[in-house]
Amino acid sequence: MNQKFYDELKKIVSEEKIKVDEPMKSHTTFRVGGPAAFFVAPETKEEIKAIVECCKEQAMPYYIVGNGSNLLVSDKGYEGVIIQIFKAMNQITVDGEMITAQAGALLSAVASRALDAELTGFEFAAGIPGTLGGACVMNAGAYGGEMKDVLENVTVLTEDGEFVTLAKEKLELGYRTSVIAKKGYIVVEAEIRLKKGNPAEIKAYMDELREK
């Protein structure tokens, strides 16, 4: 273990948030993958920024994951830092027709909150097994809907270490791509604009898509 790097990480996040030689099979939906040299689960965007800066200063490779869906990790593992943006950053708030959610929120959870708030437009994402952050990066879509249809803006950490909020028009959302993917940005939060709908119809459509 790189003790110096471990000590630097402990200055950023609490020790229980850092795992050494963590098997990635525990963090992917395929349930395969060897050990990550370091596995960190930050709780704030500031912690993400500090961890990334630490990795760059120490020339330590890093990779961002959410809930590990559609992620295939080698049995050899990863000789670097896995930064997991998932359960420690999954807050969702609703204000009128706007939903604000952290990057680690599951799409299914966002869809459930939308249903509770009688908001329609996010049903397509209810069955996609991923987080909001990953969905923004790749403009996830299914059943005729895409993230570009509902995103208002996305807050990212840039390669220069700055937090920037990008309006939908600046995201360059295309088929399974975005400016986020092209420039290596890290999603920390997104705002989604929906419309008021009939909760019974919303639930029926979500159930139909889930069945499919």
Query: Which ranges in 38-106 belong to alpha helices (H)?
Result: 45-57
Give the integer Cα–Cα distance in Å for 59 and 57: 6
Give the integer Cα–Cα distance in Å for 103 and 88: 10
- Tens-digit pLDDT profile for residues 22-55: 999 999 999 999 999 999 999 999 999 999 999 9
Q: Would the CA dihedral through 13, 99, 119, 139 be positive or negative?
A: negative
- Residue 9, CB-side half-sphere exposure with 13 Å CA sphere: 27
The pLDDT score that the predictor gives to residue 212 is 84
- Tens-digit pLDDT profile for residues 153-196: 999 999 999 999 999 999 999 999 999 999 999 999 999 999 99
- Tell me the pLDDT of the chain averaged across its residues: 96
Q: Which helix (H) or strand (E) holds 2?
A: none
Complete DSSP assignment for 94-127? EETTEEEEETTSBHHHHHHHHHHTTEES-GGGTT
Give the integer Cα–Cα distance in Å for 124 and 111: 9
Q: Does 70 have pLDDT greater than 90?
A: no
Give the integer Cα–Cα distance in Å for 12 and 51: 7
pTM (2 d.p.): 0.94
